[in-house]
Amino acid sequence: MSNLNAQTDAIERRSHRSIPYAGTIAWGVVGLFVERMGLASLRKRYQTARLRALLYHAYENVSFYRRRFDEAGFHPDQFHTLDDLQRVPITRKADIRLATDEEAIAKDCDASLLYRLFTGGSTGEPTRLRFTRYEDRLLRTFRLLAMMRFGLRWRDRRSQVRMDQPPPGRIDDSFFLPSQTLHAFLPQEEMRANLRQFKPDMIRGYPSVLALYAEQITDEDRLLIRPRFVTTDSEVLTELARERLEEAFHAPVYDVYDCYECNVIAYECPHRDSEGTRNGGYHLMDTSVVVEVLREEQPVPAGESGEIALTSLHAWAAPLIRYLPGDVVERGGHGCGCGASNATLAKVFGRTHDMFLLPDGRLIHPKYLTNPMLPLMSVLRLYQIVQERSDCVVVKLQAIPGACIDEKELTLVREKMQRMLGDRVTVSMKLVDEIPSEANGKFRPYRSCVEEGAGK
Ligand SMILES: [Zn+2]
């Protein structure tokens, strides 16, 4: 998963007077209202109408798509319903990465006025993004809408723990949504002091980074640090990190599934039953991004997993159509158990890049392997499941200081994993003192070092 607040290598900002694609931005605002109103039929009509307009725009103005549509024998006149989107060619990360500005940017757009953002990306595939500043703001407003679904109110104080540029400790004390930006690498004591001083109603950050700070929160801190909710994004939220955060902040944790390219793709269903149990699903941000879940380029039915394909409805300067960011998700039904009419994702697994290709030809996502580990979770600080070779899986376990991992329990877990992976794979469990994050600061709970995995 890529993220919105990790390192950026360059951002170029220029001022300009007119609003590029003013009409489409206005349509974006309509999308916010449609999302807010929550009528399924209206969402579908909105998606179909905006997709049709986007396909014509891409065909007429973006040579990258013109050429690909022509090669695939597709013309936007053939688009009538959402199902017709399957006739449009897929865009792989490598395709769009190799495209020049002339190919990828719409010819009716002044390329010199765009935000340019190069993301390093932990996959080793740098992604180049181009937005107008209004497109960027619109997508941020969709994120705000997701936060409001979690319970954010206008005067709420937000603490955001980020990896990238904002100076440490910055406070924006505006009347609406006063916010504090904290750098993820602040020393523990300084981070807690900042939070105590600011008294946030909402805390946002990478799950792994927040979980590390959460360990140090004391009862005294909790008298002042009392967020109504915590929200995580940018990397996989493990159950372990969720538990740690909920315990530390005495507040629910809501996850957002996002990417640099489209901002919010889906947000966790905030509904809890009378016992506080989550239904575990994600509401798709239908009026911002059209989501498909594909296996071998064919849509999978609800309840099955596949690779996600995104079409951003509000990226007109440099459209993204049927774009594969490289994540595996499980498709949910239309409409959520909580009554929301959004289409849903049942689960977000993480990157295709991290899937394990086993010697028997099976391709599995390592998140499945965490089920046998549940009995160990109460004593774990962090874990990482690494496929070092196709026949060798190593589970690294870092215990909470002072906690003891039961040998018998460990053997049972290993045996269960072994059964899941098959006889041709060696599973070993390693107790370690530290599990480092990636160079970009993100933590990867699952890693495959095997060259030939899917999506690579
Ligand atoms: Zn729901």
CATH of the domain at 257: 3.40.50.12780
Considering the domain architecture, whether residues 3 and 78 belong to the same structural domain is answered as yes
- Per DSSP, 67 falls in state H
CA 296 to CA 309: how far, in whole Å? 12
Domain that holds residue 383: 356-448
What tens digit of pLDDT does each residue of 231-272 get? 999 888 888 889 999 999 999 999 999 988 899 999 999 998
CA of 342 to the centre of ligand 1 (A): 8
CA of 335 to the centre of ligand 1 (A): 8
Inform me whether the pLDDT recorded for 17 exceeds 80. Answer: no
Is 454 within a domain? no
CA of 245 to the centre of ligand 1 (A): 21
CA of 40 to the centre of ligand 1 (A): 13
CA of 38 to the centre of ligand 1 (A): 12
CA of 380 to the centre of ligand 1 (A): 30
CA of 266 to the centre of ligand 1 (A): 11
CA 107 to CA 9: how far, in whole Å? 26
CA 275 to CA 392: how far, in whole Å? 41
CA of 150 to the centre of ligand 1 (A): 11
CA of 339 to the centre of ligand 1 (A): 6
Mean pLDDT, residues 404-411: 90
CA of 397 to the centre of ligand 1 (A): 33
Considering the domain architecture, whether residues 316 and 371 belong to the same structural domain is answered as no
CA of 450 to the centre of ligand 1 (A): 37
| Cβ contacts of 428 within 8 Å, gap of 6 or more | 392, 393, 394, 395, 414
Considering the domain architecture, whether residues 161 and 181 belong to the same structural domain is answered as yes
Considering the domain architecture, whether residues 441 and 293 belong to the same structural domain is answered as no
Considering the domain architecture, whether residues 50 and 177 belong to the same structural domain is answered as yes
CA of 304 to the centre of ligand 1 (A): 19
Strands 202-205 and 229-232: parallel
Considering the domain architecture, whether residues 172 and 28 belong to the same structural domain is answered as yes
pLDDT at 247: 93
The model's confidence at residue 101, banded by pLDDT at 50, 70 and 90, is confident
CA of 252 to the centre of ligand 1 (A): 15
Minimum mean pLDDT among 137-151, 417-431, 435-449: which range? 435-449
CA of 279 to the centre of ligand 1 (A): 7
Is 199 within a domain? yes
CB 183 within 8 A of CB 204: no
Q: What percent of the chain has pLDDT over 70?
A: 89
Considering the domain architecture, whether residues 362 and 338 belong to the same structural domain is answered as no
pLDDT at 438: 77
Considering the domain architecture, whether residues 206 and 225 belong to the same structural domain is answered as yes
CA of 263 to the centre of ligand 1 (A): 20
CA of 336 to the centre of ligand 1 (A): 4
Mean pLDDT, residues 200-207: 93
Is 456 within a domain? no
Average pLDDT along the chain = 86
CA of 253 to the centre of ligand 1 (A): 15
CA of 152 to the centre of ligand 1 (A): 17
End-to-end CA distance of the chain: 14
pTM comes to 0.81
Task: Please identify, among 331, 352, 373, the residue that sits at the C-terminal boundary of a domain.
Answer: 352
Inform me whether the pLDDT recorded for 368 exceeds 80. Answer: no
CB 20 within 8 A of CB 317: yes
CATH of the domain at 370: 3.30.300.30
Considering the domain architecture, whether residues 175 and 272 belong to the same structural domain is answered as yes
Task: Please identify, among 352, 386, 414, the residue that sits at the C-terminal boundary of a domain.
Answer: 352
CA of 343 to the centre of ligand 1 (A): 10
CA of 278 to the centre of ligand 1 (A): 9
Considering the domain architecture, whether residues 280 and 429 belong to the same structural domain is answered as no
Q: How far is CA 257 from CA 215, 268, 269, 321, 359, in A?
A: 24, 8, 11, 19, 31
Inform me whether the pLDDT recorded for 123 exceeds 60. Answer: no
The model's confidence at residue 146, banded by pLDDT at 50, 70 and 90, is very high
Beta bridge partners of 181: 160, 170
CA of 288 to the centre of ligand 1 (A): 18
CB 281 within 8 A of CB 337: yes
Q: What percent of the chain has pLDDT over 90?
A: 53
